[in-house]
Amino acid sequence: MSQMPYHELKARERIRAIVDTGSFEEFIPPPERVMSTYLPKLGIPAAFDDGVAIGSALIRGQKVYLGAQTGQFVGGSVGEVHSAKLVGLLKAAARDKTPCVLLVESGGVRLHEGSSGEIGIAEAIRAVFACRSVGATTIAVIGSDIGAYGGMGILSACCDRRLMTEHGRLGISGPIVIEKWMGKEAYDSSDRALVWKTSGGKTRYILGDVDALVNDSTASVREGILSLLSKSAKPDLALAEARQASLQARLDRFGKVGHPDEIWAACGISDVAAATLDEAEEFVKSFTRKTP
């Protein structure tokens, strides 16, 4: 397997770099031209795959269903066809009790298709839980600069497991929206360091929202996915109650915190500046050492 920087790749390049050579079989591939009917009416070029590639593949011999969003196409946004492809994929995974890996790169619902994509994401969230209920592990891989926002942020949070790189961001409202809402003094969306520290992989990992934080290489992402494939997390009352307690504790402890650095320090990172520069896997090692 090559060691390409994951974040620089496009959807199908990511899939090819992660799965066993030649094993990807795409469903509704681009030549079928199942496309958005909305975008042309708005004067926007449509894509043959509506911005998402889906199919089945093997990762070290294990069958998975796999979807990869294309951030370059309308921000990876989720319209009617795009969402329906994800829903079909997740339903197939639940039917076949096969893990489903989503390479997420999306700002959320495609505004140009209005409520259609919104309902589509709601259906996809139902389908994620259908997978979880039968033990078909769902994994959101978030390693692109666009990250997982809006409805795709919510959907990613519903998956059994999340894998991130430092490039990935997980959130709902993006920094520009928040800056408009709260003012530049509260959130300067041009402050990239703050933006990534607010929603990026390292902070999400420290707080326990990410199961694997890996380096920005396709080999690391592949190994990370492999480590999570068998780790389904069936929703039950014990899991819900434990999560309720931990999320309440997080809110009580950090609800008034201003800068993410304060959370890092409170979580035992003594040299925040150095940890900021660490590669993801180095960061994970030293963080684990400090908080046994």
Partner 1 sequence: MTTPDLLDQFFGASASGLTITGKLVTGYATVDGLEVCVLGTVDGTYVNDAAALHLAAHAIDCVKTKPGIPIVMLVDSAGQEPNRTAEMLGLPVYFGHLLTCLEVARNAGHKLVTVATGKAIGGAFLCYGMFADAIYALETASVGLMPVEAMAAVTKIPVATLEELSKTLPALEFGAAPFALLGGVRDVWPVDGGLAKKLSAAIAGADAEDTRAQVGKQRGGRPQAFDVQKQVLAESLR
Q: How far apart are CA 70 and CA 51, in angstroms?
A: 5
N residues, the chain: 292
Residue 137 near residue 230 (C-beta atoms within 8 A): yes
With respect to partner 1, which residue has the nearer C-beta, 219 or 276? 276
With respect to partner 1, which residue has the nearer C-beta, 9 or 152? 152
DSSP state for residue 20 in the 8-state scheme: P
With respect to partner 1, which residue has the nearer C-beta, 155 or 280? 155
Q: How far apart are CA 206 and CA 221, in angstroms?
A: 19
With respect to partner 1, which residue has the nearer C-beta, 239 or 274? 239
Tell me the Cα Rg of the chain: 19
The nearest distance, CB 171 to partner 1, in angstroms, is: 5
With respect to partner 1, which residue has the nearer C-beta, 200 or 224? 200
Maximal C-alpha separation, the chain = 57
The nearest distance, CB 177 to partner 1, in angstroms, is: 5
The nearest distance, CB 117 to partner 1, in angstroms, is: 7
The nearest distance, CB 257 to partner 1, in angstroms, is: 7
Q: Which residues pair with 163 in a beta bridge?
A: 141, 212
Residue 74 near residue 44 (C-beta atoms within 8 A): yes
The nearest distance, CB 235 to partner 1, in angstroms, is: 5
With respect to partner 1, which residue has the nearer C-beta, 204 or 222? 204
**Exposure letters 136-169 (e unless 16+ CB within 10 A, then b):** bbbbbbbbbebbbbbbbbbbbbbbbbbbbbbbbb
The nearest distance, CB 140 to partner 1, in angstroms, is: 10
